[in-house]
């Protein structure tokens, strides 16, 4: 189910990117998309009745029941990078707001 929810979040994020022209909402939709991608990548490595990939005293020594650690390692760094990208996008948005006094891209482009 969570794998399904990950794909659904990606699609909802794309829908949000297509339907809004407000800069802050675009970045929010991008965050939803990123969250969905992270959940999907994690869920690919899931194993039924699996253990978290950490060796403890209770883990049997044949090590067959772990979930896949590689997607987790990738998502761990991707979340921090996502924060950096969000901060950079918001900094650009603030700069544009300082010039045009609005976050609405259709007003800035003179469409109305």
Partner 1 sequence: MSMVLILEWVVGIALIGGAIACVTTENILAAIVRLSLLSMVAVVAFALMRAPDVALTEAVIGSGLVTFVFVVTVKELFAKEDKNEEVH
Partner 2 sequence: MKKFISFLLILVLAFFLMTSLNSSLDFFNPPNSLDETRMSNAFIHKNASGGSDPVEFGKSTGLEDGSANIVTSVVVDYRSFDTLGEITVLFISALGVGLLLGAGTGAKQRSGFILKTAAKLISPLMMVTGIFIFTHGHLTPGGGFPGGSMMATAFLLNYFGSGSISTDLKSLKWMESLAGVFYIVIGLIGLFVAGSFLQNYLPTGTVGHLFSAGIIPIIYVLVGLKVGSEVSGIIADFSKSEVTS
Residue 110 site contact among partner 1, partner 2, none (CB < 5 to 8 Å, cut-off depends on kind) = none
Among 26, 28, 66, 104, binds partner 2 (CB under 8 A): 66
Question: Are residues 31 and 71 in contact, defined by beta-carbon separation less than 8 angstroms?
Answer: no
102: alpha, beta or left, given left = phi > 0 and alpha = psi -120 to 50?
Answer: beta
Of 18 and 109, which CB lies nearer to partner 2 in the complex structure?
18
Query: What are the CA-CA distances from residue 69 to residues 16, 60, 65 (Å)?
Result: 31, 17, 12
Binding of partner 2 by 106 (CB under 8 A):
no
Question: Are residues 5 and 35 in contact, defined by beta-carbon separation less than 8 angstroms?
Answer: no
Residue 56 site contact among partner 2, partner 1, none (CB < 5 to 8 Å, cut-off depends on kind) = partner 2
> Min. distance of Cβ 110 from partner 2 in angstroms?
18
Among 25, 32, 41, 68, binds partner 2 (CB under 8 A): 68
């Amino acid at each position: 189910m969570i794998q399904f929810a990950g794909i659904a979040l990606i699609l909802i994020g794309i829908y949000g990117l297509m339907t809004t022209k407000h800069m802050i909402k675009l970045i929010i939709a991008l965050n939803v998309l990123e969250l969905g991608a992270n959940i999907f990548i994690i869920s690919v490595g899931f194993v039924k009745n699996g253990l978290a990939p950490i060796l403890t005293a209770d883990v049997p020594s044949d090590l067959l029941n772990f979930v896949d650690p590689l997607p987790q390692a990738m998502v761990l760094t991707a979340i921090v990078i996502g924060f950096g990208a969000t901060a950079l996008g918001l900094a650009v948005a603030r700069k544009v707001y300082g010039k045009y006094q609005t976050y609405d891209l259709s007003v800035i482009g003179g469409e109305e």
